[in-house]
Amino acid sequence: MVVCVCNAIKEKDLRAAVRDGYDKPSKVYAQLGRKPKCGQCLSFARTIIESEVATA
């Protein structure tokens, strides 16, 4: 599933970055070499990050 349309960030990429220790959208996106643009995805990205942190 694509989480961030602007940057074509997929859920699996997001979860992998969280497992590497990044715990905020801005950090995760930076780790992926991208940065938020429209911001529409941030709430959803936070939800995924929280769920990944909770299962770590």
Residue with smaller CB distance to ligand FES, 47 or 56: 47
Residue 4 interacting with ligand FES (CB under 6 A):
yes
Residue with smaller CB distance to ligand FES, 38 or 56: 38
| Cα 42 off chain centre by | 8
The answer to whether residues 45 and 28 touch, using CB atoms and an 8 Å cutoff, is: yes
| Alpha-carbon torsion angle 21, 23, 26, 9, nearest 10 | 80
Q: Give the footprint of ligand FES on residues 18-37 (CB under 6 A).
A: 36-37
- List contacts with ligand FES (CB under 6 A): 4-7, 36-41
